[in-house]
């Protein structure tokens, strides 16, 4: 299947087959209950039914795409845009004017505005903050102490994203509030996605009230951050300055609402995804202590006895491969959705205009058809001589095409640095109450990690 074979010709599309319906749906909720109960297993088995499979989520029909080639085709085709159940629920948080939910020319202009902050040549500017936060993280911990890894991981993620992209001391006090708000918002939004019973979420139940409180607080926080930056009169070379100075297509400054939505649209995925991945990395280091030993050896060889710094990152190839393999087996973004804006053909099937499509990077990246010993954690599969055998689009934890994560290089540098700093300082074991099973929300992460930090 090539990208070119996505055929937008409506008359040809009308003659095509309808994708098979997945088994196991129930009245009213359809396959929603399966997605809610064991979504990873459910998504991972769908390829057995076909390359494109129909699902029912409540009253909606959704098309699941199950092969790497077809997920790449969807990501690269202009016939599929950002919309659908995930994004509708995310719009409540991310706003309609943020880069993560905008489409068409607005999205292109917004990507042009934000991209410079994430460009490869801009990342060294963020290096000192990343290194400072990575070392601050391990210095907060004490040998023998039991760590609540969820809070620790999200804190470092929020702090790096906020301090790098919206530089200023005003962020320090606010990181904790952002973490609390985002935790409530993400758990509420996943439920709204898989069980889309719209009006029921307006009933003032405790969970709905907490969702609304967190949402309101996050919006207040962002307004405070923008106001503080303006009041400071400073213009550091960062994302917030880029937004405050951005012009629209008519050369006018972009509106307050758009600045607000952009900050949320970037800070939110940035914190949630990196936090989830740091948690998964700590789980990996706990369950495979030999990886931590090898990372420490690599850091010693490259760096000697001084603390690891941003400039060392590109030489830490083994450490980076551990991060990559973690992203393969534990992709923070485990599900993605799109909407067809025309009648199209995908893999020989008819996709009608308006259809919602989903695919799971988790299922794709663990598929035995693409990877030998697919469930095994093997960082060496990312050595260049082996990585070349991985099928195209079978490893896309940052996405593909015009919606690809702007922060792929930024995140890899950050995660490699954090992993190196952690593995040099500590080994880990589970403490009582630790529950490493996956917690599946908007992102994928271990459920509750309580780890005892042991000295090296």
Binding residues for heme: 405
3-state secondary structure of 78: coil
| Among the listed residues 81, 19, 62, the one whose alpha carbon sits nearest the alpha carbon of residue 357 | 62
The residue (of 99 and 449) whose beta carbon lies closer to ligand HEM is 99
Do the Cβ atoms of 180 and 215 come closer than 8 Å?
A: no
Backbone φ and ψ of 222, nearest 5°: -65, -40
- Residue ranges for the binding site? 405
The residue (of 108 and 300) whose beta carbon lies closer to ligand HEM is 108
The residue (of 171 and 266) whose beta carbon lies closer to ligand HEM is 266
Interface residues with ligand HEM (CB under 6 A) are: 99-100, 111, 161, 165, 265-266, 269-270, 273-274, 277, 332-333, 336, 397-399, 403, 405-407, 410-411
Q: How far is the CB of 433 from ligand HEM (least distance, A)?
A: 26
Rounded to 5 degrees, what angle do the CA atoms 189, 153, 405 make? 60
Q: How far is the CB of 157 from ligand HEM (least distance, A)?
A: 7
Beta bridge partners of 356: 62, 339
The residue (of 51 and 272) whose beta carbon lies closer to ligand HEM is 272
Backbone φ and ψ of 168, nearest 5°: 155, 150
Provide the 10 A C-beta neighbour count for residue 45. 17
For the CA atoms of 91, 97, 102, 107, the dihedral, rounded to the nearest 10 degrees, stands at -160
Q: How far is the CB of 17 from ligand HEM (least distance, A)?
A: 27
- For 304-329, the DSSP string reads TTSPP-GGGGGG-HHHHHHHHHHHHH
The owner of tokens 């995804």 is 273
Do the Cβ atoms of 265 and 101 come closer than 8 Å?
A: yes
3-state secondary structure of 116: helix
CA distances (Å), origin 154, targets 148, 151, 159, 160, 424? 11, 5, 8, 10, 20
The residue (of 50 and 397) whose beta carbon lies closer to ligand HEM is 397
Separation between Cα atoms, residue 329 and residue 323, nearest integer Å? 10
Do the Cβ atoms of 147 and 451 come closer than 8 Å?
A: yes
Residue nearest to ligand HEM (CB): 270
The residue (of 32 and 270) whose beta carbon lies closer to ligand HEM is 270
The residue (of 261 and 350) whose beta carbon lies closer to ligand HEM is 261
Q: How far is the CB of 452 from ligand HEM (least distance, A)?
A: 25
Q: How far is the CB of 233 from ligand HEM (least distance, A)?
A: 24
Q: How far is the CB of 439 from ligand HEM (least distance, A)?
A: 16
Q: How far is the CB of 18 from ligand HEM (least distance, A)?
A: 25
CA torsion sign for 86, 91, 93, 99 is positive
Q: How far is the CB of 366 from ligand HEM (least distance, A)?
A: 15
Q: How far is the CB of 143 from ligand HEM (least distance, A)?
A: 28
Separation between Cα atoms, residue 372 and residue 44, nearest integer Å? 16
Separation between Cα atoms, residue 29 and residue 419, nearest integer Å? 41
Q: How many helices (H) and strands (E) does the chain have?
A: 17, 12
Q: What is the CA radius of gyration of the chain?
A: 22
The residue (of 274 and 440) whose beta carbon lies closer to ligand HEM is 274
Structure tokens at 426: 């500590």
Give the strand pairing for 146-148 and 444-448. unpaired
The residue (of 147 and 278) whose beta carbon lies closer to ligand HEM is 278
């Amino acid at each position: 299947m090539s990208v070119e074979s996505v055929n937008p010709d409506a008359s040809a599309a009308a003659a095509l087959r309808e994708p098979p319906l997945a088994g196991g749906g129930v009245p009213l909720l359809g396959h929603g209950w399966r997605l809610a109960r064991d979504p990873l297993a459910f998504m991972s088995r769908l390829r057995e039914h076909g390359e494109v499979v129909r699902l029912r989520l409540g009253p909606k029909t959704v098309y699941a795409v199950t092969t790497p080639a077809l997920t790449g085709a969807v990501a690269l085709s202009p016939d599929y845009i950002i919309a659908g159940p995930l994004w509708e629920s995310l719009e409540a948080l991310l706003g309609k004017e943020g880069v993560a939910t905008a489409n068409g020319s607005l999205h292109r202009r917004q990507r042009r505005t934000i991209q410079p902050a994430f460009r490869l040549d801009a990342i060294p500017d963020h290096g000192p903050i990343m290194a400072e936060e990575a070392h601050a993280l391990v210095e907060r911990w004490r040998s023998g102490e039991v760590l609540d890894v969820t809070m620790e991981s999200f804190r470092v993620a929020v702090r790096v994203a906020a301090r790098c992209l919206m530089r200023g001391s005003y962020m320090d006090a606010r990181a904790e509030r952002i973490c609390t708000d985002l935790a409530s918002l993400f758990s509420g939004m996943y439920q709204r996605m898989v069980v889309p019973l719209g009006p029921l979420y307006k009933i003032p139940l405790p969970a709905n009230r907490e969702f609304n409180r967190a949402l309101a607080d996050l919006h207040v926080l962002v307004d405070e951050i923008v106001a503080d930056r303006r009041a400071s009169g400073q213009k550091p070379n960062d994302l917030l300055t880029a937004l405050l100075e951005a012009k629209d297509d008519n050369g006018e400054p972009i509106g307050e609402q758009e600045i607000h939505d952009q900050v949320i649209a970037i800070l939110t995925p940035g914190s949630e995804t990196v936090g989830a991945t740091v948690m998964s990395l700590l789980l990996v280091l706990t369950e495979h202590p030999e990886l931590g030993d090898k990372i420490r050896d690599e850091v010693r060889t490259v760096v000697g006895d001084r603390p690891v710094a941003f400039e060392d990152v590109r030489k830490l190839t083994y450490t980076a491969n551990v991060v990559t393999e973690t992203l393969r087996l534990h992709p923070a973004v485990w599900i993605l959705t799109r909407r067809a804006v025309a009648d199209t053909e995908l893999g020989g099937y008819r996709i009608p205009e308006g259809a919602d499509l989903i695919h799971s990077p988790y299922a794709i990246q663990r598929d035995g058809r693409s990877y030998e010993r697919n469930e095994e954690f093997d960082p060496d599969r990312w050595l260049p001589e082996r990585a070349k055998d991985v099928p195209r689009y079978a490893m896309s934890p940052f996405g593909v095409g015009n919606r690809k994560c702007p922060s792929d290089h930024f995140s890899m540098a950050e995660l490699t640095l954090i992993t190196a700093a952690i593995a040099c300082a500590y080994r880990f074991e589970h403490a009582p109450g630790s529950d490493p099973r996956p917690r599946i929300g908007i992102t994928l992460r271990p459920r509750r990690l309580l780890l005892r930090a042991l000295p090296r």
